[in-house]
């Protein structure tokens, strides 16, 4: 159902099972999947794809031009995955040509009120951005990470899977997977044990991650020394391998 006051471009592809509220504006080359609900006073600019069963609340702005000085009007896109919820006054900007051309919000995300996802960001499955969390450009947030309210992430930062970042934090370096980080500037505060248990991690996996965390971040070793100790002393389960690979791939440096 499309409210008669909504303005929907003839070049948009809207599934017949989509609800669009009053005074919402849908631009050219927008695709909206089955079961989606678009609330009142929403603006969806061109080149946006919204997956099935998403819910976009009032006054959200999706697909506006990126806030990037080098952007020159090139065609770029926003993609939002299935069952993602975008709350009031959230802004999600298009990608840039120099940054890959795509801003992508994954499936089953929850973007609470006033959050901002800048150009060329990518979030995985099940990501939560609490109220007023802001992502600068080119940020990657991996599966099931949670970003607390009033938190700012520096451009090009990576947030690992199942990481939890506390509210009112300023994150300027990569945050490894499975940990808790908080503060200005953010520092590590141990494993995200509650989150890991909720997502079905076994006690053995949590124990191995705890030992790995201690060796890498808490006893003053260099990174190479710590990795050697982990290889020698910790069972090389997939979670431990992933944590090490994430750290070794860091370009901005690691939050510690």
Positions marked catalytic: 119-120, 137
Of 137, 198, 192, 138, nearest in space to 166 by CA: 192
Torsion-angle region of 183 (φ positive above 0: left; ψ -120 to 50: alpha; else: beta): left
Per-residue DSSP letter, 66: P
Short-list 157, 92, 83, CA closest to 126: 83
CA angle 113, 159, 251 (to 5 degrees): 135
CB-based contacts of 156-165 (< 8 A; 24+ apart in sequence): 156/251, 156/252, 157/252, 158/246, 158/250, 158/252, 160/243, 160/246, 161/124, 161/242, 162/192, 162/195, 162/196, 162/199, 163/192, 164/192, 164/195
């Amino acid at each position: 159902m499309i409210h008669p006051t909504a303005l929907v471009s003839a070049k948009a592809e809207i599934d017949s099972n989509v609800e669009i509220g009053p005074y919402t504006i849908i631009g050219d080359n927008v695709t909206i999947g089955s079961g989606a609900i678009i609330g009142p006073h929403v603006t969806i600019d061109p080149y946006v794809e919204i997956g099935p069963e998403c819910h976009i609340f009032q006054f959200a702005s999706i697909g506006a031009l990126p806030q990037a000085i080098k952007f020159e009007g090139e065609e770029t896109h926003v993609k939002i995955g299935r069952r993602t919820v975008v709350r009031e006054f959230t802004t999600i900007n298009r990608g840039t040509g120099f940054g890959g051309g795509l801003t992508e919000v994954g499936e089953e995300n929850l973007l609470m009120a006033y959050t901002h996802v800048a150009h060329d960001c990518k979030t995985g499955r099940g990501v939560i951005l609490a109220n007023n969390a802001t992502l600068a450009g080119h940020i990657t947030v991996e599966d099931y990470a949670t970003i607390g309210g009033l938190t700012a992430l520096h451009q090009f930062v990576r947030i690992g899977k199942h990481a939890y970042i506390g509210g009112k934090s300023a994150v300027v370096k990569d945050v490894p997977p499975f940990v808790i980080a908080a503060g200005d500037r953010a520092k590590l505060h141990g494993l995200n044990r509650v989150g890991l248990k909720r997502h079905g991690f076994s006690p053995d996996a949590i124990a191995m991650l705890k030992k790995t965390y201690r060796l890498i971040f808490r006893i003053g070793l260099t990174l190479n020394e710590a990795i050697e100790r982990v290889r020698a002393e910790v069972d090389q389960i997939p979670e431990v391998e992933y944590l090490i690979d994430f750290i070794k791939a860091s370009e901005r440096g690691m939050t510690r």
